[in-house]
Structure 1
């Protein structure tokens, strides 16, 4: 009995966590409802001007039921972008992208640079892998067993 079986009471499809990581925004905080298995989103009233009082109250009054998915600030897409550039082999593209990701407008310049150097697919593959790793880490940190296909649930 030395495996991970029995350690987790909650299971989630990893795709659900990855989707929450991909869609993280400043306007909403997404949560995993451990009771229903659904993802719920609570709007930030300072950004959206809206507030779901019933959901906010339910989250506040149900300790342990709602697990917050990683926020946009916890994901650090800029760090992922910089790591991607660092892993490129030495080249004109790497040099240009290193400069592009500095200062205001970094995301726009980076997107233009990867398009120009035909690195878009490599970037999207790299980003997807980074988001998957964030999702797995979230599961492990929250004691949630992940499955890679719904048939395992």
Structure 2
């Protein structure tokens, strides 16, 4: 069985150009899974590509960060979140926004899995089964 085409395409696209510095970053998979499960229209999660930290930014925090309001007007517990939102806005190249519930298409993932088989009969049978026909 060969590697899925979409995965190999992404791997090639993720390969840094020659002569660039490549660093290893440790990211906790459990934190990414939790962020993906918790994402809503009002909550966005970002991966800090420098530290591996997952950052939660609410719509309210992002609006406050965009408005450049004085954070002293906000409660202590919210100030750190607003500062993180400002950092995301100020330095977007260091952050990767994780997909939300509208970005993840489970059925498309299953279809892609079915068509990646070298044995077309297996792929077609799996595809037939997920379609329910």
TM-score range, shorter chain: 0.3 to 0.5
Which protein has greater RCO, CA pairs closer than 8 Å, 6+ apart?
1
- Larger C-alpha radius of gyration, 1 or 2? 2
Report the TM-score, using the length of structure 2 for normalisation. Answer: 0.44
Report the TM-score, using the length of structure 1 for normalisation. Answer: 0.40
